[in-house]
Structure 1
Amino acid sequence: MKRRTFDQLASAAGLFLAAVLVVAGSLLVWAHNFVDHEVHSQLAAQQIYFPAKGSPAIAGAEYAPIRKYAGQQLTTGAQAKAYADHFIANHLKEIGGGKTYSQLSSQAQANPTDTKLAGTVQTMFRGETLRGLLLNAYAFGTMGMIAGIAAIAAFLAAAVMFVLGLLGLRHSRRVPATEEVLANRQRGATADRALANS
């Protein structure tokens, strides 16, 4: 194969790959923006606020991870995780006496006349449901963040492939029209055979 033809084909493939990466990066940016907007708007609509700074509700050591959000409205995936894991979960532990919803529900089924236990089970169910929904928001927020990082990587890779494609096309113009891709290797192999036969 002629070296010029090879350079042109390789360069065209690189430019095509650059175009594909730009399209992929654009779709990833769209995904990032969509997820970020949805997580923010859905969380903001719930009107959840962290307790104010200095509030006794977050005075214990177990609430330390959420103090940086004190007084803020919950609108991001990271905030949702902090609220779920360090506010709701701690309250549920207190309400359930360290037992899970499943354990308390089993006890309530064994004692159907215990109305106090039934109320605790309902509170635990609601708390665990809210906690699960907030952790889903965190998961989607994280996926949106990963899509944003992947978009940057795709655009950088597209830029590299574009530059390499242009350099390949430039190189193809400088190569003599008669030069072969593997000409030097073929000459070397022929010389090796000649030496072996002599």
Structure 2
Amino acid sequence: MRKFVVLFAVLALTSLVGCVTINVYFPEAAAQKAADQFIGSVIDQGTAAQKNGAPAAQDAQKPAEGGPSASVIDLLIPAAYAAGTPDLRIHTPTIDAIHARMSKRFRESLQALLDEGAVGFTQDGLVAVRDLSAAPLAQRAGVKSTVAAENADRNQLYAEIAKANGHPDWQSQVRETFARLWIERAHAGWYYRDSAGGWKRK
């Protein structure tokens, strides 16, 4: 009788998991939170580091490892659904390496190009050259390579975040969320492309 009860409970939980995972919707609120955290750590900490003359700190809010052993229901039902408010994973060795490169590039060259108006944000989550002549003559030769390196990292970032969360199909939605947040977090005076493709200044 006891074996029957345990078997019934496992079958019921398995059925529940099937119901939960049939429709896995993109967690927009969690994506916004993750994008805001990532972008803020690049832009705000990078800006603070430039002002203070110190390197920007890597985002320390990484998911805790270890912890108590999971119960049967924790093993069968993803933690994101059990919690009710899913988080989007933005910390893996690959993502953290991208973050480090982007933060370093922002401090060393990208922020100055944004401040000068030589470069701006686009609607697809990338950066683009807006006015090469706005950059100091000595920096102009490196503008295109900076933009290319930044865009390569951003493209990889969106793909890696989707992959890290077990849904490579979320890549376009991750990109859209980040694209919106890059523009929202842009500083006054920076440029961005509007939906019609024209440049606007914040």
TM-score, with normalisation over the residues of structure 2?
0.31
Between Structure 1 and Structure 2, the one with more strand by share is 2
Higher helix share: 1
Ranked by relative contact order (alpha carbons within 8 Å, sequence separation 6 or more), the top structure is 1
TM-score (normalised: structure 1) = 0.31
